[in-house]
């Protein structure tokens, strides 16, 4: 299994370079005969991807609306009672891969003493939380598969507060559409309320029985085995409940917002 350290980002210059590479051979190759010949071969495959179709604004718009349509379909497909498979301890992936939009050395350091989790939006109780208060709540643990949007997966053991317990404790309006997250590494994302209330959605405070280490998201990450990795925010600093769509770091660049099972 290949483990990627960083998710490849949207790099405009490399896309342009790619596009030029693709277009150059086509410009040289204009004869009708070779066009027909290539049409009959796998070269035809290359030609379709070769036309500069992804830079087209209307194509972009169409693909984005398909992605929004897929969000709705996925919300409709989501069964709150369907559980992600759990695994024995022997199957935990070691070492568990680090993954972020930055290198492991740049993972933020959060000081426990000064740390406060902020809560805002459609909630009754907006006071902020210290870590020890979260640790005093009922804890639960699970060994589940983390699936990355890139395709690879890894099994890990996370423990913490069931997120639905936390939402109830803060008096969140669970009829609201979204729960959003802001993180110490400037990452941000938002999820659907149904997933937020799923029994396996954890406000994870530990990894493999120990305090969640910095590289895996200290002081806490939202762990959802029903969602792809980029939907699981780390180093959470603020949680907000809202009816307004707020997207996310990768979602705003084109990753599907629902992003999961």
Partner 1 sequence: MSQSTASPKASHPRWLRLTHWLNALAVLVMVTSGWRIYNASPIYEFSFPASITLGGWLGGALQWHFAAMWLLAINGLIYLAFNLFSGRLKRRFFPVSPKGVLHDLWAALRGKLGHADLSHYNQVQRVAYLFVIVDITLLVLSGLVLWKSVQFPLLRELMFGYEGARRVHFFAMALLVAFVAVHLLMVALVPKTLLAMIVGRKEQA
- For partner 1, the binding residues (CB under 8 A) are 1-2, 4, 7-11, 15, 18-19, 21-22, 40-42, 44-46, 48-50, 53-55, 62-64, 66-67, 70, 74, 77-79, 82-85, 145, 147-153, 225-226, 250, 253-256, 260-261
Residue 72 C-beta: closest distance to partner 1, Å: 13
Q: Rounded CA gap, 177 and 39, in Å? A: 48
In Å, what is the CA distance from 59 to each residue of 52, 65, 75, 253? 11, 10, 24, 15
Residue 142 CB, shortest distance to partner 1, in Å, is: 13
Name the token pair of 177: 């559409």
Minimum distance from CB of 144 to partner 1 (Å)?
10
The distance of closest approach from Cβ of residue 29 to partner 1 in the complex, given in angstroms and rounded to an integer, is 13
Of 84 and 197, CB closest to partner 1: 84
Minimum CB distance to partner 1 smaller for 93 or for 120 = 93
Q: How far is the CB of 184 from partner 1 (least distance, A)?
A: 24
Cβ proximity to partner 1, 22 vs 238, nearer residue? 22
Measured from the CB atom, the residue of 50 and 247 that comes closer to partner 1 is 50
Q: Rounded distance, CA 156 to CA 160, Å? A: 13
Contact 178, 188 (CB under 8 A): no
Q: Smallest Cα–Cα separation from 179: which of 202, 196, 163? A: 196
Q: How far is the CB of 182 from partner 1 (least distance, A)?
A: 22
Q: Of 95 and 209, which has the nearer Cβ to partner 1?
A: 95
Measured from the CB atom, is 10 or 138 closer to partner 1? 10
Least distance from C-beta 125 to partner 1, angstroms? 31
Report yes or no: 147 and 230 within 8 Å, Cβ to Cβ: no
Residues 6 or more apart from 137 whose CB is under 8 A from it?
Answer: 161, 165, 166, 169
Q: How far, in Å, are 166, 169, 179, 182, 217 from residue 175 at the CA level?
A: 15, 15, 11, 21, 28
Give 64 or 128: the residue with its C-beta nearer to partner 1.
Answer: 64
Cβ proximity of 71 and 258 under 8 Å: yes
CB 143 within 8 A of CB 85: no
* Length, in residues, of the chain: 261
Segment holding 23, helix H or strand E: helix 12-28
Report the nearest approach of partner 1 to the CB of residue 99 (Å). Answer: 11
Neighbours of 28 (CB within 10 A): 7
> How far is it, in rounded angstroms, from Cα 200 to Cα 157?
12
Nearer to partner 1, 3 or 169 (CB): 3
């Amino acid at each position: 299994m290949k483990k990627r350290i960083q998710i490849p980002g949207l790099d405009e210059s490399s896309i342009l370079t790619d596009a030029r590479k693709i277009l150059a051979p086509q410009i040289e190759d204009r004869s009708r005969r070779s066009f027909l010949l290539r049409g009959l071969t796998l070269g035809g495959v290359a030609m379709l991807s070769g036309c500069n179709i992804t830079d087209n604004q209307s194509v972009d718009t169409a693909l984005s609306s398909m992605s929004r349509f897929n969000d709705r379909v996925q919300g409709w497909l989501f069964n709150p009672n369907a559980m992600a498979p759990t695994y024995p301890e022997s199957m935990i992936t070691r070492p568990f891969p680090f993954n972020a939009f930055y290198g492991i050395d740049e993972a933020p350091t959060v000081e426990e003493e000064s740390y406060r989790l902020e809560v805002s939006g459609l909630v009754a109780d907006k006071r902020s939380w210290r870590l020890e208060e979260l640790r005093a709540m009922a804890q639960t643990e699970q060994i589940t598969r983390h699936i990355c949007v890139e395709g690879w997966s890894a099994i890990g053991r996370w423990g913490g507060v069931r997120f639905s317990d936390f939402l109830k404790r803060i008096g969140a309006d669970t009829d609201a559409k979204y729960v959003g997250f802001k993180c110490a590494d400037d990452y941000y994302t938002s999820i659907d309320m149904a997933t937020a209330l799923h029994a396996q959605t954890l406000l994870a405070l530990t990894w493999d029985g120990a305090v969640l280490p910095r590289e895996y998201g200290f002081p806490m990450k939202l762990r959802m085995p029903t969602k792809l990795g980029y939907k699981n925010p780390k180093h959470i600093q603020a949680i907000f409940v809202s009816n307004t769509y707020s997207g996310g770091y990768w979602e705003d660049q084109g990753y599907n917002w629902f992003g999961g099972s």
